[in-house]
């Protein structure tokens, strides 16, 4: 209801011209009616004219029926008109009285984010330029973590909500048949380094949020109780967020730990499918050992289509040249950059507002935009040989400002 009222409120600028237009149409209709009545009584008419003019009904009923049809058509026309708003220019001299047809609804956008913990914190700065930035946390993560983390930030208009009030765990089947809790797949597990996920499912969790009897992540499909489809309710705030969003951003974050698990919630998935919001996927910078080993950009998109049932409108891919030293660090951890395979190109497109020489590519039905999205940072981690000591490691991360600018640019295009 809030969305409907907000859209119709844009017609306030048209109240007077619409009223005058309505009066003019009434006079035109009366004139046409008088002429038609004159012709009807003075000239012979085919039999079908009696049916078209509802002669088989009494005159009062004809009037009521025509009024109802007129109201329905008028209401539909007003709704269509509210989508193409006419409002005064705000950035020019108001004395000119100039109007702009097709100007989109004024005000900052509402954005919904489905991402991992670090990804949500990266996008938090976008709250300054959004009416509301609502982060829907991963289904298996405790929301308290995000509230504690958000306490370190000062970004306004940022909210964190859980997708469902029922705790659940996420289990994956790898390409070698291994069945494991995704939260227990670690980058330094050599046994799983070359593996990738082939199937994902939600399972019931204990009251403490841990899969029944699976505190070390080991399990078999027979010992895990899968969630019955349709039994995980979507929270009201999450539902309203997806319904009212101008953009839904997936990522940055782990594909199989943070993004796809939420798509396994039936009502959440259907809400995204039905939403008219711009759907943007921020692709991972690097592959994840045991999860997406060997995946390129197109495979990431295919997994979203497989589990989400929708195709992202845009996919943002980092195009920065990676320093060889950083590449070696990741290679030692069995990770490689997520690249755009030229063989996956379907066609090239030129977006509105772009120079004709700037072309993007279509992959799996999504427009893939390669741009600079990352930066290298120094991160201190515990030494593998001596956990009491820390070591400085140069890593690649999505850059807050670059990513925010890229997403807002896509919204402005729309």
CATH number at residue 152: 3.40.50.10680
- The whole-number pLDDT of residue 213 equals 41
Verify that 357 and 232 share a domain, yes or no: yes
Beta pairing, strands 99-101 & 86-88: antiparallel
Quote the tokens at residue 392.
Answer: 């400085």
Verify that 74 and 204 share a domain, yes or no: no
Region 20-27 average pLDDT = 81
Q: How confident is the model at residue 10 (pLDDT cuts 50, 70, 90)?
A: low
Query: Is the pLDDT score of 107 beyond 80?
Result: no
Buried b (16+ CB within 10 A) or exposed e, 344-357: beeeeeeeeeeeee
Verify that 57 and 140 share a domain, yes or no: no
CA distance 63 to 67: 6
Q: How confident is the model at residue 65 (pLDDT cuts 50, 70, 90)?
A: confident
Residues whose CB is less than 8 angstroms from the CB of residue 293 and which lie 6 or more positions away in sequence, other chains included:
193, 194, 195, 196, 287, 334
Query: CA-based Rg of the chain, rounded to a whole angstrom?
Result: 28
Verify that 212 and 331 share a domain, yes or no: yes
Residue predicted with more confidence, 356 or 369: 369
Average pLDDT, the chain: 82
Residue predicted with more confidence, 362 or 356: 362
Verify that 71 and 201 share a domain, yes or no: no
Verify that 141 and 56 share a domain, yes or no: no
pLDDT digits (tens, 9 = 90+) for 219-235: 777 788 899 888 999 99
Residue predicted with more confidence, 396 or 389: 396
State the DSSP string of 105-134.
Answer: PPSPPEEEEE--HHHHHHHGGGGGGSSEEE
End of a domain among 48, 68, 101? Answer: 101
Dihedral-angle region of residue 97 (phi above 0 means left; psi in -120 to 50 means alpha; beta otherwise): left
Verify that 124 and 88 share a domain, yes or no: no
Among 115-119, 282-286, 299-303, 346-350, name the one with the lowest average pLDDT: 346-350
3-state secondary structure of 181: strand
Query: Is the pLDDT score of 217 beyond 70?
Result: no
- The whole-number pLDDT of residue 93 equals 45
Look up the domain containing 68 and give its range.
Answer: 2-101
CB 255 within 8 A of CB 303: yes
Region 17-36 average pLDDT = 80
Using omega within 30 degrees of 0 as the cis cutoff, is the peptide bond preceding 252 cis? yes
Verify that 165 and 83 share a domain, yes or no: no
Among 16-30, 57-71, 276-290, 351-365, name the one with the lowest average pLDDT: 351-365
- The whole-number pLDDT of residue 109 equals 94
- The whole-number pLDDT of residue 152 equals 65
- The whole-number pLDDT of residue 113 equals 97
* Stated pTM of the model: 0.74
- The whole-number pLDDT of residue 353 equals 62
Percent helix, strand, coil in the chain (nearest 5)? 40, 20, 40
End of a domain among 63, 81, 101? Answer: 101
Domains identified in the chain, total number: 2
Residue predicted with more confidence, 343 or 197: 197
pLDDT digits (tens, 9 = 90+) for 108-163: 999 999 998 888 889 988 999 999 999 999 999 877 777 666 666 667 899 999 99
Residue predicted with more confidence, 356 or 414: 414
Query: Where is mean pLDDT largest: 100-109, 304-313, 348-357?
Result: 304-313
Verify that 277 and 131 share a domain, yes or no: yes
Verify that 59 and 199 share a domain, yes or no: no
Verify that 47 and 120 share a domain, yes or no: no
Query: Is the pLDDT score of 328 beyond 80?
Result: yes
End of a domain among 76, 101, 126? Answer: 101
- The whole-number pLDDT of residue 151 equals 67
Among 157-166, 212-221, 242-251, name the one with the lowest average pLDDT: 212-221
Neighbour tally for 209: CB within 10 Å:
12
Verify that 74 and 114 share a domain, yes or no: no
- List C-alpha distances in Å: 172 to 97, 131, 195, 232: 61, 37, 11, 19
């Amino acid at each position: 209801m809030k969305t409907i009222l907000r859209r119709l409120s844009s017609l306030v600028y048209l109240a007077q011209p619409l009223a005058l237009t309505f009066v003019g149409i009434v006079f035109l209709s009366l004139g046409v009616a008088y002429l038609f009545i004159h012709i009807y009584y003075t000239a012979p008419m085919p039999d079908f004219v009696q049916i078209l003019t509802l002669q088989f009904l009494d005159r009062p009923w004809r009037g009521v029926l025509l009024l109802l049809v007129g109201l329905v058509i008028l209401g539909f026309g007003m709704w269509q008109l509210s989508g193409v708003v006419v409002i005064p220019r705000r950035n020019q001299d108001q004395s000119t009285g100039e109007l702009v047809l097709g100007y989109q609804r004024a005000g900052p956008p509402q954005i919904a984010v489905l991402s991992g913990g670090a990804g949500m914190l990266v996008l938090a700065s976008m709250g300054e330029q959004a009416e509301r930035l609502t982060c829907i946390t991963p289904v298996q993560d405790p929301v308290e973590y995000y509230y504690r983390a958000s306490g370190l930030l000062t970004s306004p208009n940022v909210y964190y909500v859980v997708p469902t009030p029922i705790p659940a765990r996420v289990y994956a089947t790898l390409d070698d048949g291994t069945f494991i809790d995704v939260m227990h797949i670690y980058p330094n597990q050599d046994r799983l380094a070359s593996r990738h996920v082939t199937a994902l499912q939600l399972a019931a969790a204990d009251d403490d949020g841990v899969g029944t009897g699976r505190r070390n992540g080991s399990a078999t499909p027979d010992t895990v109780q899968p969630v019955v489809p349709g039994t995980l309710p979507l929270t009201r705030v999450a539902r309203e967020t997806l319904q009212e969003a101008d953009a839904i951003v997936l990522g940055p974050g782990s594909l199989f730990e943070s993004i796809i698990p939420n798509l396994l919630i039936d009502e959440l998935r259907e809400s995204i499918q039905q939403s008219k919001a711009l759907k943007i996927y921020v692709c991972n910078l690097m592959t994840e050992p045991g999860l997406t080993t060997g995946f390129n950009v197109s495979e990431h998109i295919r997994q979203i289509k497989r589990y989400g049932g929708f195709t992202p409108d845009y996919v943002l891919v980092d195009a920065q040249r990676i320093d060889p030293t950083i590449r070696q660090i990741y290679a030692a951890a069995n990770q490689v950059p997520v690249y755009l395979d030229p063989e996956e190109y379907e066609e090239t497109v030129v977006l509105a507002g772009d120079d004709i020489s700037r072309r993007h590519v279509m992959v799996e039905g999504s427009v893939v935009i390669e741009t600079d999205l990352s930066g290298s940072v120094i991160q201190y981690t515990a030494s593998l040989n001596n956990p009491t000591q820390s070591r400085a490691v140069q890593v690649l991360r999505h850059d807050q400002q670059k990513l925010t600018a890229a997403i807002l640019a896509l919204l402005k295009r729309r």
